[in-house]
């Protein structure tokens, strides 16, 4: 019987790993590759802020797991992981229900020889009072679409009432990449909505406040990147508050630790991450304070050589001699997926596994159609700062690289062609 590799989580890293292992080991019959996910479709998580603003139609940019499995020689199983039995080497999948509450797929078990956990991360509200009740998170497509519906409903209501003085206030907690990009994308959406005739709320009447507990926006990036981003946001009319920790969230707005009340009809929490709660003490596996599974440089968990974890759900050492862990970034998940493709080929041959060492190739931040800022890092050119059109082209290329890994060069070219044609026939903003 061929080696059975079960991958849990169809995010960017897990889906890329399943696709590449299917094309190699699965196609040749050297291993049985199974991908399990709670959803039927995939959308690249860095695009969710565009879905929220309406700049991206999620139905046109989703990938179907069933079709991807068929094309790339792996098996897809629908279900959310609910448990693990390491002794029997099986995982439990919870039952899946349809929108009417009827059982669609029953609870069941999946056996594995090697298990890979790539379940990503969720937003960490740090237990802030009222955050879970009153804020929208942007962890999933459904959450992003919910925000878009709320935003559009406000505009449609104002348009029907012909209230020329209507306003909308949006507060975004967390000035990391998601918060910054969402703020800029919402400013762009305000102009597009007015251009389509929903002008009862003028662009200047969408009041966007970006709140960061740290001393500057984009705290994980160099200051030479965050400073121009801060200036650009303020030029767009975004109110940027740094050094302002949110103490409480209410239906009316947000209360900071300094006692300032920030009114907001729409509230987004985009600060901090943690791994899904079910990973904490999962059948004895070692985890850290934010539920990440602790792994060795081979990406094997510390207490079970047959279980791997990578991406945001894994606490992996940097590999540079420091005590720091790999940052939760898309490029890290891509690098780790590439390493695991090599690792499983060697594992089937009984060879020792390679160790992962993080390589930082820089960061790019999109400010919608207005600008982009970032730095690229490499052995030959060192660190190069990019701004404007060139930075935006590099930013767009990141998504195209993701598509290349999943679809191949020819189909990615066809998708690019389709997107170009669609710009002349589709609205520039999703209006439903």
Nearest CA to 180 out of 228, 114, 243 is that of 228
More confident site: 391 or 382: 391
Cα 66 to Cα 132: distance, rounded to the nearest angstrom: 33
Q: What is the pLDDT of residues 399-426, one digit of tens each?
A: 788 888 888 888 888 888 877 776 666 6
Domain ranges of the chain: 3-121+275-348, 131-271, 362-422
pLDDT band with cut points at 50, 70 and 90 for residue 380: very low
Q: What is the DSSP letter of 46?
A: G
Provide the pLDDT confidence category of residue 198 given band limits of 50, 70 and 90.
Answer: confident
Q: What is the pLDDT of residue 72?
A: 96
Query: Which tokens in the block code for residue 383?
Result: 């660190």
Percent of the chain with pLDDT over 90: 65
**In this predicted model, which residue has the larger pLDDT, 382 or 243?**
243
Domain 131-271 class, CATH top level: alpha beta
Distance CA(192)–CA(102), nearest Å, equals 40
Whether 3-121+275-348 shares its CATH topology with 131-271 is answered: yes
Tell me: the pLDDT tens digits for 36-87?
A: 999 999 998 988 999 999 888 888 788 999 999 999 999 999 999 999 999 9
Q: What CATH class does 3-121+275-348 carry?
A: alpha beta
Give the residue from 162, 155, 187 showing the smallest Cα distance to 49.
Answer: 187
Q: What is the pLDDT of residues 259-309, one digit of tens each?
A: 999 999 999 999 999 999 999 989 999 999 999 999 999 999 999 999 999
pLDDT-derived band of residue 251, with 50, 70 and 90 as boundaries? Answer: very high
Which pLDDT score is estimated for 418?
79
User: Three-state DSSP class for 361?
Assistant: coil
147-175 pLDDT, tens digit each: 999 999 988 988 888 766 678 999 999 99
- Asked if 73 and 26 count as a contact pair (C-beta separation under 8 A), the reply is yes
Q: What does the DSSP 8-state code read for residue 219?
A: T
pLDDT greater than 60 at residue 323: yes
Could you tell me the two tokens for 85? 């039995």
Distance, in Å, from the CA atom of 305 to the CA atom of 296, rounded to the nearest integer, reads 10
Return the C-alpha torsion angle 317, 321, 327, 333, nearest 10. Answer: -60
CA 175 to each of CA 222, 233, 277, 338: distance values in angstroms, whole numbers, following the listed order: 14, 11, 24, 30
Contact in structure between 202 and 257 (CB atoms under 8 Å)? no
């Amino acid at each position: 019987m061929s080696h059975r590799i079960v991958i849990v989580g169809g995010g960017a890293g897990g889906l890329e790993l399943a696709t590449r292992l299917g094309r190699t080991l699965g196609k040749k019959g050297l291993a049985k590759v199974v991908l399990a996910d709670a959803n039927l479709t995939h959308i690249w998580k860095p695009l969710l802020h565009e879905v929220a603003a309406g700049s991206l139609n999620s139905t046109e940019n989703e990938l179907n797991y069933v079709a991807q499995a068929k094309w790339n020689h792996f098996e897809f199983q629908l279900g959310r992981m609910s448990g693990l039995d390491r002794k029997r080497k099986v995982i439990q999948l919870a039952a899946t229900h349809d929108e009417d509450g009827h059982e669609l797929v029953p609870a069941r078990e999946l056996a594995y020889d090697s298990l890979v956990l790539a379940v990503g991360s969720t937003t960490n509200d740090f237990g802030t009072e009222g955050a879970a009740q009153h804020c929208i998170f942007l962890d999933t497509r459904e959450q992003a679409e919910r925000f878009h519906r709320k935003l559009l409903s406000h505009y449609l209501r104002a348009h029907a009432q012909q209230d020329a003085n209507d306003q909308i206030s949006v507060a975004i907690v967390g000035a990391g990449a998601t918060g910054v990009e969402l703020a800029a994308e919402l400013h762009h959406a305000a102009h597009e909505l007015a251009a389509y005739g929903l002008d009862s709320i003028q662009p200047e009447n969408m009041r966007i406040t970006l709140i960061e507990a740290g001393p500057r926006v984009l705290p994980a990036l160099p200051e030479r990147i965050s400073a121009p981003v801060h200036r650009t946001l303020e030029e767009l009319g975004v109110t940027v508050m740094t050094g302002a920790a949110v103490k409480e969230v209410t239906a009316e707005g947000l209360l900071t630790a300094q006692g300032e009340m920030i009114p907001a009809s729409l509230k987004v929490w985009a600060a901090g991450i943690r791994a899904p709660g079910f990973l904490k003490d999962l059948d004895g596996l070692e985890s850290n304070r934010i539920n990440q599974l602790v792994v060795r440089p081979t990406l094997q968990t510390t207490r079970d050589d047959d279980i791997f974890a990578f991406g945001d759900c894994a606490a992996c050492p940097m590999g540079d001699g420091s005590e720091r862990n790999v940052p939760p970034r898309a490029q890290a998940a891509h690098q780790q997926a590439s390493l695991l493709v090599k690792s499983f080929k060697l594992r089937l041959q009984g060879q020792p596994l390679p160790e992962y060492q993080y390589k930082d190739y820089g960061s790019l931040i999109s400010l919608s159609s207005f600008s982009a800022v970032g730095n690229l890092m490499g052995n030959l050119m060192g660190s190069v700062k990019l701004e404007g059109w060139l930075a935006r082209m590099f930013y767009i290329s990141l998504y195209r690289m993701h598509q290349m890994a999943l679809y191949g060069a020819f189909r990615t070219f066809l998708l690019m062609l389709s997107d170009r044609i669609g710009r002349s026939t589709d609205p520039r903003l999703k209006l439903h």
